[in-house]
Structure 1
């Protein structure tokens, strides 16, 4: 009877290799990975959730500042980004992160998001944009 051990290495959160060891040898198998899954922000992911032909509205009354946290759980004063919430017909309100401090559009004004991108992580979708403009 073989005495087996199963383990895996992870690369960026995705399983990369499956190691199966018995008393005589070690065998490496590549684990099947999903296809067409982007692991970075992209326009293609954003258009799956936010439609270009429908207006987007600002639903924030203030800009949220996101701060950097250390590995040991302490908050620093370093700014990681800024967040504003938006909505679109048929879509729940969603947050968009900005690297630079954006100007806050008036509440419920129609806006255009510059270079909107999204990323899917597990069952969540995160958005980022370079800027926001009020549509006139």
Structure 2
């Protein structure tokens, strides 16, 4: 029975954390984004995120996007500095046509920092990326 279940591999969908300037509060804030680098739209995108370590765990956050167009991105959430010291997990589920995809993206503790910045696809900015 299990051998009959096919779970397709997620490709060209990423989670990025970008350090952006906040005009209202005059601060630099880390924000998480989902990126669709595919040539097709993603439908019913569900994202469940949490931070955790051996001794601490954050609340579970849930996000839903009805549609994420091809070659686009959407903001998921603001990430407070205290959360960056934890492992940050983003479980993403979406439909591409009638096929469901699922992947867990993990930022290890303290890996979201200025030294880890790289070019982020589709967004044309710098940030920390998990594929």
> 1 or 2, which has the higher strand percentage?
2
TM-score higher than 0.5: no
TM-score (norm 2): 0.25
Which structure would you say has the larger Rg?
1
Larger RCO (alpha carbons 8 Å, 6+ apart): 2
